[in-house]
Amino acid sequence: MNKNFLASMVAITTLAGIAHAQFPVYNALPPGSFTNYIFLGTDNTATTGVVSAMVMDDVAPTTGGMDATGFSFTTINANTVGVRVRANFFFWLADSATNAPTGIPNPGTYLLNSTPAPTGFGFTLNLNPNAANVWGTNALPAGFLPVPAPGQKLWVGMFYDAVNLTAGAFPPADATQMDNLATIMFSPTIGTSTDTVFAPTAAADTLFGVDNPAGTNLDHTALLMPAGSSADLSCAIRVPGQNITGTVTLNDTVDAMALFRNVTIKLMQGNTELNSLFVTVNPNTATTSNFTIGAPASLTGPVTLVFDGSPYLKKNVTVNLAGSGADAGAVALQNGDVDNSTEVDAADIDQVITDFGQMWPGGTGMASSDVDDSGEVDAADIDIVIANFGAMDD
Ligand SMILES: [Ca+2]
Ligand SMILES: [Ca+2]
Ligand SMILES: [Ca+2]
Ligand SMILES: [Ca+2]
């Protein structure tokens, strides 16, 4: 058997080292806390040594067609002692003839199962006792993990092993300790995954380069996860990025704002949301904020930035990307849509009248009735609605 995949191939750093120019096309990492995790369990049918079972998850990145440069994953060592293990990752295209119950094709073609020789990668790690960690690298070699073309899903397979490991900070995990290694389950915030994971029938150390592995789909219930959760392996995939910068200005808004105003910026390629950003414009600063939103460096041509907030109308700005970033310029948001209905109309005037005299912060009714954010709902707010009357969302 070819065991090249067991070599530790990639220098690994913690997440703090992630460079800004990396763009996530999939992110299912917990923001800090998490609830769900699964033990992979020692696979007694493995013949090469101490090897865990493999768990695979369906992963739909937001875009693709380029090599990944970054990958992150999680480990949990529930042992009371530190252990040394490899965390291994194999990848399959979701192109099996059989579908998961959620409709996603099961693991089919082993990714890179052609030329050059099939690959996967392993990270040799020293896991502290009773510790959960997020690990990541932004230095994947070219061709290691080609993200499939946009719309094509893949399956990410993870397992642990301690085959032929020499001791490092900790001794290699034995079979009993391997039973106490887990990984976090967390639903993606970028990209999507359905409520299923795939448990292959064969031992993980036999699946290297194997197409169409047999196995079983498990949903959150089968994994004993609470209602409302989804069976998703916590990991992230990043590609080289570029930045789109600009400024957003809140029209007809006073400089010394009584309340925070929030603007959401979405980066859209056609109907696909590639990234989003939440900009909070602070009171006592100004009505203009700088923004920087990332995009894949491979993305060229027109993309749309969609700005929205309340009581501002939605505005679309088209930016032409050439791979090295772009300046969206100054983006001004039109005021007056108090009820966020997509149009400045009579209902907005009615709302301001209803809330007339309210003082913010601390008022009652709709805070956006204080259209200019002066701290009081007054005649100036009605004037702004009238001045913008008839305007609509882009
Ligand atoms: Ca899933
Ligand atoms: Ca709005
Ligand atoms: Ca309205
Ligand atoms: Ca006002």
d(CA 157, CA 118): 14
Candidates 286, 283, 302; CA nearest to 247 is 286
**Cα of 58 from ligand 1 centre, angstroms:** 5
**Cα of 18 from ligand 3 centre, angstroms:** 42
Cβ atoms of 374 and 311 within 8 Å: the answer is no
Residues of the chain with CATH 2.60.40.4130: 239-387
Length of the chain: 394
Cβ atoms of 299 and 93 within 8 Å: the answer is no
pLDDT for 113 beyond 60: no
- Give me the pLDDT at residue 20, please: 46
- pLDDT > 90 fraction of the chain, expressed in percent and rounded: 66
User: Which range (15-24, 46-55, 221-230) has the least confidence?
Assistant: 15-24
Cβ neighbours of 185 (radius 10 Å): 25
**Cα of 391 from ligand 2 centre, angstroms:** 11
Residue 87's identity, in one-letter code, is A
**Cα of 383 from ligand 3 centre, angstroms:** 15
Ligand approaching nearest to the C-alpha of 335: 2
Burial 14-23 (b: 16+ CB within 10 A, else e): eeeebeeebb
**Cα of 286 from ligand 3 centre, angstroms:** 25
**Cα of 337 from ligand 3 centre, angstroms:** 4
**Cα of 311 from ligand 3 centre, angstroms:** 8
Task: Tell me the pLDDT tens digit for each residue of 51-88.
Answer: 999 999 999 998 898 889 889 999 999 999 999 999 99
> By three-state DSSP, how is residue 84 classified?
strand
**Cα of 247 from ligand 4 centre, angstroms:** 24
pLDDT for 16 beyond 60: no
- Residues near ligand 4 ion, CB 5 Å cutoff: 370, 372, 374, 381
**Cα of 337 from ligand 2 centre, angstroms:** 6
- Residues near ligand 2 ion, CB 5 Å cutoff: 308, 340
Task: Tell me how far apart the terminal alpha carbons of the chain are, to the nearest angstrom.
Answer: 59
- Give me the pLDDT at residue 326, please: 92
What value does the mean pLDDT take over residues 208-217?
A: 94
Ligand approaching nearest to the C-alpha of 258: 4
Query: What is the dihedral sign for C-alpha 60, 62, 65, 66?
Result: negative
d(CA 24, CA 72): 10
**Cα of 353 from ligand 4 centre, angstroms:** 12
**Cα of 125 from ligand 4 centre, angstroms:** 58
Task: Tell me the pLDDT tens digit for each residue of 25-58.
Answer: 999 998 777 889 999 999 999 888 999 999 999 9
116 pLDDT band, cuts 50/70/90, is very low
Candidates 188, 227, 173; CA nearest to 50 is 173
- pLDDT > 70 fraction of the chain, expressed in percent and rounded: 91
Task: Tell me the pLDDT tens digit for each residue of 358-368.
Answer: 999 999 999 99
- Give the DSSP H/E element, type plus range, for residue 350: helix 346-354
pLDDT for 5 beyond 90: no
What value does the mean pLDDT take over residues 118-134?
A: 82
d(CA 259, CA 29): 32
**DSSP annotation of 311:** S
- Give me the pLDDT at residue 388, please: 98
- Give me the pLDDT at residue 1, please: 21
Taking only Cα atoms into account, the Rg of the chain, rounded to an integer number of angstroms, comes to 25
114 pLDDT band, cuts 50/70/90, is very low
- Give me the pLDDT at residue 2, please: 23
Candidates 253, 329, 262; CA nearest to 287 is 253
209 pLDDT band, cuts 50/70/90, is confident
Which tokens go with 31? 């923001």
**Cα of 190 from ligand 2 centre, angstroms:** 23
- E strands, the chain, are 13-14, 22-27, 36-39, 55-59, 70-77, 83-93, 121-127, 131-137, 154-161, 181-185, 197-200, 215-218, 235-250, 261-269, 272-281, 288-296, 301-309, 315-321, 326-333
Candidates 365, 261, 251; CA nearest to 310 is 261
Query: What is the dihedral sign for C-alpha 173, 175, 180, 182?
Result: positive
- 239-387 belongs to which CATH class? mainly beta
pLDDT for 180 beyond 60: yes
- Give me the pLDDT at residue 286, please: 66
Task: Tell me the pLDDT tens digit for each residue of 369-386.
Answer: 999 999 999 999 999 999
Task: Tell me the pLDDT tens digit for each residue of 236-287.
Answer: 999 988 999 999 999 999 988 889 899 999 999 888 888 888 888 876 666 7
Spatial CB neighbours of 339, under 8 Å, sequence gap ≥ 6: 347, 348, 351, 366, 368
**Cα of 310 from ligand 2 centre, angstroms:** 5
d(CA 74, CA 133): 5
**Cα of 359 from ligand 4 centre, angstroms:** 9
pLDDT for 218 beyond 60: yes
pLDDT for 18 beyond 50: no
Cβ atoms of 10 and 140 within 8 Å: the answer is yes
**Cα of 368 from ligand 4 centre, angstroms:** 9
Spatial CB neighbours of 33, under 8 Å, sequence gap ≥ 6: none
- Give me the pLDDT at residue 157, please: 96
**Cα of 226 from ligand 4 centre, angstroms:** 46
